Amino acid sequence: MSRPYTVNYVCSGNICRSPIGEVTLRAMLEEAGLGDRVEVVSSGTGNWHVGDPADPRTVATLERHGYDGSAHRAAEFDGAAFDNYDLILASDYGHERRLNRLARTEEDRAKIRMARSFDEEAVAAGDLEIPDPYLGYQQDFELVMEQVLAANRGVVNYIREQLGA
């Protein structure tokens, strides 16, 4: 049996944006009947939070929207592991640049996409970055949730097409 289609959601420290992306995408894929065919993980471009739980504001935001982020532990993106992923979702252009620098081949680079590039309204507005809420307020985490959910609807459709489901 081949490995599942694997998505890695990436942000800076893997405690705010990418855990929201990971937890909500996993749930949306389950709802779409694709949970058994797709694995979702997340990571950060930096290592300063490795092993830490998600930011308490991240966990609270997820809970308010019916998701459980309490089990999350931060990880650093492993540049040697591109072969393990089919789709790598960058939260902002800095992450995209960092991931492209880590990519060894054009095939690796082709896996990297801005998460919001799957949200038609974000594309039309020319606003593909998910802003970092870490130094902000609760409403910044709510904005991230809103943007990620919109992007993930498109990601689910894209994965469905990739899997021919």
How would you write the pLDDT of the chain (165 residues) with one tens digit per residue?
Answer: 478 999 999 999 999 999 999 999 999 999 999 999 999 999 999 999 999 999 999 999 999 999 999 999 999 999 999 999 999 999 999 999 999 999 999 999 999 999 999 999 999 999 999 999 999 999 999 999 999 999 999 999 999 999 997
The parent domain of residue 39 ranges over: 5-160
Separation between Cα atoms, residue 55 and residue 13, nearest integer Å: 10
Is 104 part of any domain?
yes
Residue 3 a catalytic site member: no
Residue 83 a catalytic site member: no
| Residue 51 vs residues 46, 54, 60, 62, 78: alpha-carbon distances, Å | 12, 9, 19, 19, 14
Tokens encoding 140: 């910044």
Is 65 part of any domain?
yes
Separation between Cα atoms, residue 165 and residue 155, nearest integer Å: 14
Residue in the structure block whose two tokens are 């490995």:
3
Is 47 part of any domain?
yes
Active-site residue identified among 16, 17, 92, 116: 17
Number of domains in the chain: 1
Is 32 part of any domain?
yes
CATH of the domain at 53: 3.40.50.2300
Is 52 part of any domain?
yes
Tokens encoding 106: 């054009």
Active-site residue identified among 52, 132, 140, 153: 132
Residue 11 a catalytic site member: yes
**pTM of the predicted model, to two decimals?**
0.96
Is 38 part of any domain?
yes
126: left (phi over 0), alpha (psi -120 to 50) or beta: left
Is 165 part of any domain?
no
Separation between Cα atoms, residue 37 and residue 22, nearest integer Å: 15
Is 86 part of any domain?
yes
